[in-house]
């Protein structure tokens, strides 16, 4: 719609925002009218109309099988559009049109903002399935007529009341029509069922909806006056009411077709099961986070025990082996600590990489600086846990074997999302400027326990590739190419 309006019309950005607000609401008008809606806007030169939006009803058959958005029609071809724009009134004159052997009643509703008519809504009703209307259909049509008059007067939609139609109740979910005093004139079967879920034993018709709703909602103090006012339809608002184990979502729409409030529409939806599942998910998320927190505590306890045991070792080789185990356990604990603070099983790995880099640098035999470039981004836990251990082993190997006591240097960790072959990969490079690899060294055939762990985790657990080669100028370069996108296994 933005492109069509800016390309073909003289409407301002504030006018365009009004049209967006209207389009976010007009599913309501379409469903109440049992009709298709097409929004036509005059072009810049005033000789044509361009259709910028279209809506089909959920309550009846469509009148348009094709998409009308983007169509241009010259002024004069559809006289009802001309009359609605020129006179600023709803036009209902004329005989039904025949489209593919289907009779269609056409009406034109001017879209007014302040004192100007921005465009016209063509309301097209498929008459093929018209039958004797029931009380529900008559209520729908009367409410649609009131809304159409409000659109023509510029009082609907309500400024500043942007509505998420995916989350708000719809006409078919449940509808209540109130008079100016808030008394129920009509309640659809779905609306009545929703109130029975709250504990209502009688019929709704004739009741004051605000007072009835407040009585059904549990309250420790006086009657909730705000809820009474909202459920009475005095202002365009949304809320949820909970009682008797049920939850209903309410949306009030004041009706002012001639400037004075004559009543209200209240749309409602039974969201009891939806809220129950949301609470279950919240409980599940909290449980998962607590599990990660306890795993982290247990791993830190294991690391502390290994550290105590290392201090009691007489053998230098045994002490070094236990200290390596402490760092490996610590790298896994960092991932679980991060997961314990998140709502899902995904982590921002840049922080983990920085903490691993700092942890390993503490055991540097010399003055070796570590730094990170690029971004790892957000990774799944099943990737983050083995990757943190792989990074720990590679950094530890670089510091221990690349630099001697007292030597200074740099170890750089670089991360690039995308990889060298396809999207959805992570390319990690760890490069130092130390003494380099021994002559004839092969990472696939040689290497200590740490490199064996790296190879196993990268190729087996992560499904990636691992290589260790001499750096271009000096030192060693380790390259990891790991799938991190959907279907990475």
pLDDT for the residue numbered 194: 94
pLDDT for the residue numbered 446: 64
pLDDT for the residue numbered 420: 44
Contacts of 192 (CB under 8 A, 6+ apart): 203, 204
pLDDT for the residue numbered 282: 76
Q: How far apart are CA 206 and CA 482, in angstroms?
A: 67
Walk along the chain (489 residues) and give the pLDDT tens digit of each residue.
999 999 999 999 999 999 999 999 999 999 999 999 999 999 999 999 999 999 999 998 888 888 999 999 999 999 999 999 999 999 987 778 887 788 889 999 999 999 899 999 999 998 887 667 789 999 999 999 999 999 999 999 998 766 666 678 999 999 999 999 999 999 999 999 999 999 999 899 999 999 999 989 876 555 567 888 888 989 999 999 998 889 999 999 999 998 899 999 999 999 999 888 888 877 777 777 788 788 888 888 988 888 888 888 888 888 888 887 887 787 778 877 877 777 667 888 888 888 888 877 776 655 778 889 999 888 888 888 888 888 888 888 888 787 877 778 888 999 998 744 445 789 999 998 888 888 777 766 666 777 888 888 888 888 999 888 888 888 899 999 998 864 444
Q: Choose among 338, 361, 360: nearest CA to 349.
A: 338
3-state secondary structure string, the chain? CHHHHHHHCCCCHHHHHHHHHHHHHCHHHHHHHCCEEEEEEECCCCCEEEEEEEECCCCCCCCCCCCCCCCEEECCCCHHHHHHHHHCCCECCCCCEEECCEEEEEEEEEEEECCEEEEEEEEEEECCCCCCCCHHHHHHHHHHHHHHHHHHHCCCCCCCCCCCCCCCCCHHHCEEEEECCCEEEEECHHHHHHHHHHCCCCCCCCCEHHHHHHHHCCCCCCCCHHHHHHHCCCCCEEEEEEECCEEEEEEEEEECCCCCCCEEEEEEEECHHHHHHHHHHHHHHHHHHHHHHHHHHHHHHHHHHHHHHHHCCCCHHHHHHHHHHHHHHHHHHHHHHHHCCCCCCEEEHHHHHHHHHHHHHCCCCCEEEEEEEECCCEEEHHHHHHHHHHHHHHHHHHHHHHCCCCCEEEEEEEEEECCCCCCCEEEEEEEECCCCCCCCCCCCCCCCHHHHHHHHHHHHHCCCEEEEEECCCCCEEEEEEEECCCCCC
Contacts of 156 (CB under 8 A, 6+ apart): 25, 147, 150
Cβ atoms of residues 109 and 154 within 8 Å: no
Q: Choose among 301, 291, 362, 299: nearest CA to 334.
A: 299
φ/ψ (deg, to 5) at 400: -75, -40
Q: Choose among 138, 140, 160: nearest CA to 148.
A: 140
pLDDT for the residue numbered 419: 47
Q: How far apart are CA 268 and CA 237, in angstroms?
A: 12
Sheet of 72-74, strands arranged across: 72-74, 48-55, 36-42, 116-126, 102-113, 97-99
Contacts of 362 (CB under 8 A, 6+ apart): none
Q: How far apart are CA 349 and CA 374, in angstroms?
A: 12
For residue 73, the tally of other CB atoms under 10 A from its CB is 14
Q: Given the DSSP bridges, would you call strands 367-374 and 408-417 parallel, antiparallel or unpaired?
A: parallel
Q: How far apart are CA 99 and CA 101, in angstroms?
A: 5
Cβ atoms of residues 200 and 217 within 8 Å: no
CA–CA distance from 302 to each of 102, 158, 326, 332 (Å)? 77, 61, 8, 12
Sheet of 367-374, strands arranged across: 367-374, 408-417, 425-432, 476-483, 465-470
Q: Given the DSSP bridges, would you call strands 72-74 and 476-483 parallel, antiparallel or unpaired?
A: unpaired
Cβ atoms of residues 231 and 141 within 8 Å: no
First to last CA, the chain: 41
Q: What is the pTM of this model?
A: 0.65
For residue 14, the tally of other CB atoms under 10 A from its CB is 9
């Amino acid at each position: 719609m933005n492109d069509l309006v800016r390309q073909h019309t003289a409407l301002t950005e504030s006018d365009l925002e009004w049209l967006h607000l209207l389009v976010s609401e007009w599913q309501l008008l379409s469903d109440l009218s049992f009709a298709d809606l097409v929004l036509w806007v005059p072009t810049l030169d005033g000789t044509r109309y361009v259709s910028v939006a279209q809506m089909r009803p959920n309550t009846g058959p469509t009148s348009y099988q094709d998409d009308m958005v983007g169509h241009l029609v010259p002024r004069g071809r559809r006289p009802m559009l001309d009359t609605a724009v020129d006179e600023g009134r709803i036009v209902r004159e004329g005989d039904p049109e025949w489209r593919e052997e289907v009779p269609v009643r056409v009406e034109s509703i001017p879209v007014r903002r302040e004192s100007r008519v921005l465009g016209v809504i063509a309301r097209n009703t498929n008459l093929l399935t018209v039958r004797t209307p029931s009380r529900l259909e008559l209520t729908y049509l009367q409410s649609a007529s009131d809304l159409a008059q409000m659109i023509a007067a510029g009082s609907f939609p309500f400024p500043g009341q942007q509505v998420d139609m995916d989350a708000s109740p719809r006409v078919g979910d449940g509808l209540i029509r109130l008079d100016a005093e808030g008394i129920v004139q009509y309640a659809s079967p779905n609306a009545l069922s929703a109130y029975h879920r709250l504990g209502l034993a009688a019929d709704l018709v004739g009741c004051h909806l605000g007072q009835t709703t407040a009585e059904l909602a549990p309250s420790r103090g006086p009657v909730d006056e705000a809820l009474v006012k909202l459920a009475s339809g005095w202002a365009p608002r949304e809320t949820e009411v909970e009682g008797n184990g049920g939850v209903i979502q309410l949306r009030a729409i004041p009706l002012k077709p001639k400037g004075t409030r004559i009543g209200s529409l209240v749309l409602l939806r039974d969201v009891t099961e939806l809220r129950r599942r949301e609470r279950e998910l919240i409980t599940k998320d909290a449980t998962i986070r607590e599990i990660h927190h306890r795993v982290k505590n247990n791993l830190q306890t294991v690391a502390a025990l290994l550290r105590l045991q290392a201090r009691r070792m007489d053998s230098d080789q045994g002490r070094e082996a236990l200290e390596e185990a402490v760092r490996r356990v610590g790298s896994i604990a960092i991932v679980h600590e991060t997961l314990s603070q998140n709502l899902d099983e995904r982590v921002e790995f840049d922080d983990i990489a920085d903490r691993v880099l700092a942890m390993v640098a503490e055991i540097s035999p010399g003055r070796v600086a570590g730094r990170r470039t690029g971004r790892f981004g957000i990774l799944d836990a099943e990737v983050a846990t083995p990757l943190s251990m792989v990074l720990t082993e590679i950094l530890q190997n670089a510091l221990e074997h690349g630099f001697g006591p007292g030597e200074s240097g740099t170890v750089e960790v670089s991360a690039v999302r995308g990889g060298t072959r396809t999207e959805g990969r992570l390319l990690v490079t760890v490069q130092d400027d130390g003494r380099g690899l021994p002559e004839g060294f092969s990472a696939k055939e040689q290497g200590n326990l740490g490199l064996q762990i790296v190879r196993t985790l990268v190729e087996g657990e992560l499904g990636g590739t691992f290589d260790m080669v001499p750096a271009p100028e000096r030192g060693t370069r380790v390259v990891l190419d790991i799938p991190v996108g959907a279907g990475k296994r």
